[in-house]
A and B are shown apart, each in its own frame.
Chain A
Amino acid sequence: MSDTERLSYESRWDRSAATPEEALIAVDGSASEAVLKRTGEWNAGQVKAALDLQPTDRVLELGCGVGRIGLELLPHCAEWHGADISNNMLQVAREWLGDSGRVKLHKLDRTELTGLEDDYFDKAYCVAVFIHMDKEDVYLYLRELARVLKPGGRMYFETWNLDDSVGWRRWMMEVNAWAANEQRRRKDVSRNQFTVIDELRLFLEHAGLTEVASFTHSAWLQVVAALEPDADSLEAMRENVEANAGTIRYSEHWNHLFRGVIEVLCGDREMQSLLEELGTREDPETALFRDYLKEQVRRARSLESQ
């Protein structure tokens, strides 16, 4: 069967992770383990800062994939749990992180954190996961995350921001792909879907979560929320997020770099011209994009020469 459109969400991700190498690429497009490690470090830094991660914390990642972020967070928390819909992804995560002691992996079967206890976690997060989901699933998972968090617990997640010029541009890739499609099959079950902060606020409110802070000025909506925080701790959480905003949020420069990547993907710009723009600048964001892109070029060439 080659019709990917008919796949359920689970089989979609299992197929993308049929081999460990494919799993790496499916996670964030990183073409090598070295680059994947760096993007993992970057996201882990955001999560750590957003959640004010403590050595005593029990932490849950929804949609952990190969454990890219968990690997970085494990040294800084008491327990790390990763949940994913794909067995193949979890297989790789198991090799990387083990599945005993302070690490626990959970195989999901549906939009539900089956087997996970109520009020168990201090912190939870979800990165580059909601972007692939229908709204029903985003909301159901937020409800589940609220369930497994302790009262006062905190969560961080991000998703695509339609109300941003780069976010919109990214969405147009989806729209244009569909417009060019013969439309005799349904849209990809895991295609990228987009939202606006107003919608997320409704989801949070109805899931019983309190918005601590959100960043809305990039292609990503980034949200820190808490379960039933008292007034003092909410205040403290807000101060913490504000103090760490520079680490948590995608900067204007990051958004600009991402726009460049979209232009290359859309064929509006040569990869070479983007790499030249990035030049030899050594700020960490530019360096990460440059290395990510160079690895893509290297991989594309090696595929060509095979």
Chain B
Amino acid sequence: MSEEQIYESRWDGSADSPDKARVAVDGSPDEQTLRHTGAGGARLLKAALDIQPTDRVFELGCGVARVGRELAPDCAEWHGADISRNMLRVAGERLRGFDNTHLHKLDRTELKGLKDDYFDKAYAVAVLIHLDKEDVLLYLHELARVLKPGGLLYFDTWNLAHEAGWKRWLLEVDHWASSDQSQRKDVSRNQFSVLKEIRLYLEHAGLTDVAVGTESPFLQVIAARQPSPVDLASLRRRVEKHEKEIFYSARWGELFSIVMDLINGRADVDAVLADLERRDDEDSAQFRDYIRAQFKAEK
């Protein structure tokens, strides 16, 4: 079919079976892995957003509810929205038994049907990385709309100013440079930002920047809708206290950069693994397992 891929059909195509949907979300090969990575995501969000049992929580781009499945037991309501009906079908199955969850099918860059001032917390993980900048801004406006005044938002996107972020972007650039360019770029390809740009979006969307993590290939942003000065100060103190649970460390960024070098053939997998064996930090251990699985298993 030569039909043009739009954002919706792109993700529906990646999720036309539950197995494919899971892999498209974060590469998890089975439900057990998905639960595991979902739990990691949920821990980060609980720390970033201080999720309370009374909170109404919203996820933009929820996919198969990888994270929502793990957050639903700990909040009053969990809502997930996605452009792909196929993703939502899988999400619905995974959320069976939770009567505090709601799924919303999106048709366009708009949170249609979602009420103003409804949510205490909102987040978007590994979603804005796939969007054109027009859509990033429009969704931030919409997220500000559905958040209560004082509500909190967490999101991440690719950080072009970080060494590993730049290397990740070069994969996109090289891919395009070596394609025959008779077709347009992938509608869901990875796109990248610098912090200044994100700050402009926040400001114009009526969101206040609470804290930002910039030490890794991901820009991680915590923002609030119209917080009072007192609230903002206490939000910042809280984030500072939980910094390590929320923001990827500089070491994590370094390890990501090494993975990029492996992909580009600029590093030797055995040498990298040997080095990681000698380290005992948690990030090194996590990457050691990941690198083994990705770069050694296929041999």
Contacts and interface: CB of A to CB of B under 8 A. Distances in A.
A130 interface: no
Contacts of B182: 8
Interface stretch (A48-56, A173-181, A241-249, A256-264): A173-181
B133 A202 contact: no
Nearest to B195: A198
Given A202-B161, A206-B166, A184 B134 contact: no
A140 B177 CA distance: 8
B262 interface: no
B105 to A, nearest CB: 14
Interface residues of A, number: 37
B161 A179 contact: no
A253 interface: no
Interface in B172-203: 172-173, 176-177, 180-185, 187, 191-192, 194-197, 200
Interface string A152-170: 0000000000110000100
A136 B176 contact: yes
Given A179-B138, A194-B133, A136 B185 contact: yes
Interface string B146-182: 0000000000000011000010000011001100111
Contacts, number: 84
Contact of B109 (A5, A178, A186): A178
Given A185-B6, A186-B187, A198-B161, A163 B200 contact: yes
Nearest to A5: B4
Contacts of B93: none
Contact of B134 (A111, A140, A187, A195): A187
Contact residues on B (Cβ < 8 Å of other chain), bracket: 35 or more
A298 interface: no
A196 B196 contact: yes
A199 B133 contact: no
Interface in A187-210: 187, 189, 193-199, 202, 206
B137 interface: yes
B204 interface: yes
Contacts of B134: 174-175, 178-179, 187
A186 B194 contact: no
Interface string A105-142: 00001111000000000000000000000111101100
B177 A186 contact: no
A121 B107 CA distance: 50
B181 to A, nearest CB: 4
B132 interface: yes
A136 B4 contact: no
Given A6-B4, A139-B173, A174-B134, A199 B194 contact: yes
B184 A162 contact: no
Contacts of B107: 183
Contacts of A183: 6, 107-109
A185 B166 contact: no
Contacts of B172: 136
Contacts of B195: 198
Contacts of A182: 108
A134 B192 CA distance: 11
A198 B177 contact: no
Contacts of B184: 6, 8, 186, 189
B285 to A, nearest CB: 32
Given A162-B197, A202-B161, A193 B133 contact: yes
B160 A202 contact: yes
Contact of A8 (B133, B181, B204): B181
A162 B197 CA distance: 8
Contact of A175 (B6, B138, B180): B138
A195 to B, nearest CB: 8
Contacts of A174: 134
B108 A135 contact: no
B200 A111 contact: no
Contact of A186 (B4, B133, B166, B181): B4
Interface of A: 3, 5-6, 8, 109-112, 134-137, 139-140, 162-163, 168, 174-175, 178-179, 182-187, 189, 193-199, 202, 206
11 contacts: A5-B4, A6-B184, A8-B182, A137-B176, A139-B173, A163-B196, A163-B200, A183-B109, A186-B187, A193-B133, A198-B195
**In the complex, the 10 A-B pairs of residues with the closest C-beta atoms, listed nearest first:** A183-B108, A110-B181, A198-B194, A196-B196, A178-B134, A136-B176, A199-B194, A175-B134, A198-B196, A136-B173
